[in-house]
Chain A
């Protein structure tokens, strides 16, 4: 059914990309997710130009002010512009989200691959340790680690990355276990390939789409995680804004100015949801069994 069209000049990589793009565009939810994600990333990067006020700018004449033309979303208890803080806060969240995930993947992939490829006692040790760590909910783990490392955005990011690693180790290990049963692995051995060649040339490249999807769903967990850590005072420290610290500040004023909690809360939910939906879409389009 799939006759190779020898007349076309497009390269196979281009064809695959076109196919994936078409599949993606057929999923409105995923597209929406992508749009929102890109919006957040743009906001985070261009915060200095987008935010009407500087991060710490206070205006003691307008404490807990209602939304107005001067302060589109109002101000908080110290007269800081809510909208600006939301925009600056996006930075902390996006940073934590991306870097924690990158860290997790960089740590988890080699460990998972070694466990899955070599099996034996190495696998037993790694798998059991991972299972133990996975028994802790991700947030509890992250909180514990952050408390040990000390409070700062960097340490929070580290804690989140390490906390997300066990789940990714399991994924990497599972993929490796499956991939090493493919016939091209013994074919490579018969070619005289060393373990290194097999792992890097044959197994790793075939894991990339799974890892990409996993990354896309780890980021929202990290974003929520950063908000939690900052809320608890273990992450970003005042006066740097973060959606989590904004929630923390808003606690005392819930009856007077609920919007101070609603906006950062909405931001967290929206960002996490967008990444999750995007991740679902990506998982779908990469699945070879998908027909649409």
Chain B
């Protein structure tokens, strides 16, 4: 359904270029939930924002993103606007700042319906009500005329999701949708997303830094590091047989429950820092922090290889520790 090939994004800043994304490729099948995982600065958000052209002017995007037979990256602004919000919807992290505080909830969702589907105001209102029920907002009739500040964080996020689903998109891109929410509210939103996938068949790209969230609803996972794809696998495979040392490190860094009596093991640390994205080194981006690095990792960029069935890694020394 969505095929991204060699997507690269470069920002022109005060101190020179920043290569935020370097030749990212991935595919999204219909009805699939793809999790894109990585820490801050790895390029996961930039990748998806590039798809729907939400990046600032200082960004140069190259590569292809084929959606329904058309390359999104080469569409005119007008045609892209028809796709954005209608076939591909985007949900952001901060529900407070992505909803306009001076318009009621009903008005904001209604606007999407009127603009994209040409609905009349009355039809839009009825459909908005349906959408609010779909996202399980309690007392939806009341919410129609409420303002964002009257709703809690979790409810606002549901409104954002309702707005995203308004035109029955084929793809929903959710950028850290639960990061700003409490644990119990997050659980509700994840359940909702699972529900949406089952009932509407919407494919979802879920961007997050939280491996637990990914374990919860993703079918396939892409791990990004320093703008490049490090590993890609089905979710069970990734957690049971992690290959890339970065993935192994991430999994080891998460505290797990411990029943034993002796002193607990330390959490696994990954020494060093994310490399500067100002250059595109001809080496493995993770080499300086990697316990398995050798001369080859420092002089050659590892290409993605399939080391297990449908399990890709960009590493010269893949394997669990």
Contact = CB atoms under 8 A, between A and B. Distances in A.
A3 B276 contact: yes
A50 B275 CA distance: 57
Given A22-B14, A23-B14, A1 B276 contact: yes
A292 B15 contact: no
A22 B14 CA distance: 8
Given A291-B58, A292-B58, A3 B15 contact: no
Nearest to B15: A19
A2 interface: yes
Contacts of A292: 13-14, 58
Given A1-B277, A23-B14, A291-B56, 17 more contacts: A1-B18, A1-B41, A1-B276, A2-B276, A3-B273, A3-B274, A3-B275, A19-B14, A19-B15, A22-B14, A291-B11, A291-B13, A291-B14, A291-B58, A292-B13, A292-B14, A292-B58
Interface string B7-28: 0000101110010000000000
Listed from nearest, the 3 A-B pairs whose CB atoms lie closest are A3-B276, A1-B41, A1-B277
Nearest to A15: B15
Interface string A15-56: 000010011000000000000000000000000000000000
Contacts of B14: 19, 22-23, 291-292
B274 A1 contact: yes
A292 B18 CA distance: 13
A23 B14 CA distance: 7
What's the interface size class on B, roughly?
Answer: 10 to 19
Contacts of A291: 11, 13-14, 56, 58
A291 B14 CA distance: 6
Nearest to A2: B276
Interface string B253-281: 00000000000000000000111110000
A3 B41 CA distance: 12
A70 B274 CA distance: 70
A281 B88 CA distance: 39
B55 to A, nearest CB: 12
Nearest to B12: A292
Q: Which of A1, A3, A22, A292 has the most CB of B within 10 A?
A: A1
Contacts of A19: 14-15
A23 B275 CA distance: 25
B173 to A, nearest CB: 22
A291 B12 CA distance: 9
B249 to A, nearest CB: 18
A188 B15 CA distance: 34
8 contacts: A3-B273, A3-B274, A3-B276, A23-B14, A291-B11, A291-B58, A292-B13, A292-B58
Contacts of A1: 18, 41, 274, 276-277
Nearest to B278: A1
Interface string A268-292: 0000000000000000000000011
Nearest to B11: A291
Q: Which of B11, B15, B18 has the most CB of A within 10 A?
A: B15
A19 B16 CA distance: 12
Contacts of B276: 1-3
A291 B57 CA distance: 11
Nearest to B40: A1
A2 B14 CA distance: 13
A291 B15 CA distance: 10
Contacts of B277: 1
A1 B276 CA distance: 5
A14 to B, nearest CB: 14
A50 B276 CA distance: 53
Nearest to B18: A1
Nearest to B226: A1
A3 B285 CA distance: 14
A1 B41 CA distance: 7
Contacts of B41: 1
Contacts of A23: 14
Contacts of A22: 14
Interface in A51-90: none
A1 B16 CA distance: 12
Contacts of B56: 291
B89 to A, nearest CB: 27
Contacts of B11: 291
Contacts of A3: 273-276
A292 B41 CA distance: 19
